[in-house]
Amino acid sequence: MELAERADKAQNKKASLGVDVDLSQFKQEALRVERLTSLEKLQPDIIESARGVGIVEDEEARAGTFFQLDSSVLFSCHKKEVEGLEVLSTPEALRRYDWLKDYYGKAVEVDTDKYTAKAELLSGGGYFIRAEPGAKLTLPVQACLFIGTEGLLQAVHNIIIAEEGSELHIITGCTTHPLVSSGMHIGISEFYIKKGATVTFTMIHSWAEDVDVRPRTGAIIEADGRFISNYICRKPVKSLQMYPTSYCVGENAKVRYHTLIYGSKNSSIDVGGRVVLSARGSRAEMTSRIIANDQSQITARGHLIGEKPETKAHLDCRGLLLSDKASIHSIPELSAKAQGSELSHEATVGKIEEDQLCYLMSRGLTEDEATALIIRGFLDPEIPGLPDHLKQEIKKRIELTSEKAM
């Protein structure tokens, strides 16, 4: 009741960043769909769209699966042979575990803005993923949030808990049905990484052109914990605004953000991240690779806050302009609040060098092939800590993006 009251008071609270979106223009009710016994029972066009964001229907290469269509959870389970893993819908987990209320809304407050408020008031589902203490889950868990109704507002609340000493890898793919052109997605994601645990989270967005997207993410990392967050946006959207915040509350906690953005058409994109280093020995690294094409307008932010001694963090943002009508605005921020906090950043924005194109074309490539090769190289920074199969998943998405650029 208290959370609902706080959310109700924040219904008209505009976000501090990004374009404001009128939520009343979207449908808030969708047809309910019955649960499935397997992803292979999905319609072929839905399966094809889901594949484009890293979701596989046979589930052999996945430890667990969650699939939500609009507001209906169609499938949630984990392999019988996989021990130490739970995959449920968030509403189901809240009904099952009374202790989950101690986590809910702590990393992302429900009254942050009107988008978090709407997600709380709609109670539209989302996933709960938990790795039990000591569980080493090498295969990733996959989760798909799918919009299949034109003009729908999809709002979900996700909670991820990695208990002490566990290891968890997640691929979340968010996309729309081929016949859907507009809608809105609000996704609250809360991460709780306990002592010595590791979470790798890879989020791939492939929305329709007139979809507004508002992810709201918070992570709390305890001593010796690691949080690796990879974000890929490979198709145009109407607007996207996200500013995830990680809190290193335990000694030697580590955070890595890797963001790959391909902006095209009339996309308005405002992305970034904040890391608060509030414990000795905590570390952070933020890497962004941004491409702006057509008339896209992209703002790339980053804020590193060193609150304790012996903390260290680096911010690296690089932008590539493919159109004179596009723009990239890089905004790095460093806040050192204690002696012995070492923070640094570098940012560059430019166009493809003519000599690079000429060299590749002299080796027999066409101009389009040369440009695609440069884009693939630009979008492919080394991401430490990823299992090989996850690296291959990301490489596939990058190859698809570079092909779309041509």
Per residue in 190-208, pLDDT (tens digit) is 999 999 999 999 998 999 9
Residue-range definition of the domain harbouring residue 125: 2-354
The confidence band for 356, taking pLDDT boundaries of 50, 70 and 90, is low
User: Which region among 69-73, 104-108, 210-214, 398-402 has the lowest average model confidence (pLDDT)?
Assistant: 398-402
Rounded to whole angstroms, how far apart are CA atoms 216 and 352? 33
Considering the domain architecture, whether residues 282 and 372 belong to the same structural domain is answered as no
What per-residue confidence (pLDDT) applies to 406? 47
pLDDT, tens only, 49-81 = 998 888 888 778 899 999 999 999 999 988 888
* CB environment 12-29: b (16+ within 10 A), e (fewer): eeebeebeebebeebebe
Considering the domain architecture, whether residues 232 and 83 belong to the same structural domain is answered as yes
Considering the domain architecture, whether residues 248 and 389 belong to the same structural domain is answered as no
**Structural domain total, the chain:** 2
DSSP string for residues in 120-178: HHHT---EEEEEPTT-B--SPEEEEEEE-STTEEEEEEEEEEE-TT-EEEEEEEEEE-T
Counting residues of the chain whose pLDDT is more than 90, the rounded percentage is 67
What per-residue confidence (pLDDT) applies to 266? 94
Considering the domain architecture, whether residues 308 and 393 belong to the same structural domain is answered as no
User: Which region among 4-8, 68-72, 75-79, 353-357 has the lowest average model confidence (pLDDT)?
Assistant: 353-357
Considering the domain architecture, whether residues 75 and 192 belong to the same structural domain is answered as yes
- Residue 359 in this model has a pLDDT that exceeds 60: no
pLDDT, tens only, 91-131 = 999 999 999 999 999 999 999 999 999 999 987 899 999 99
Taken as a whole, the chain contains a residue count of 406
- Residue 17 in this model has a pLDDT that exceeds 80: yes
> What pTM, to 2 d.p., does this model score?
0.90
Considering the domain architecture, whether residues 288 and 401 belong to the same structural domain is answered as no
Considering the domain architecture, whether residues 156 and 245 belong to the same structural domain is answered as yes
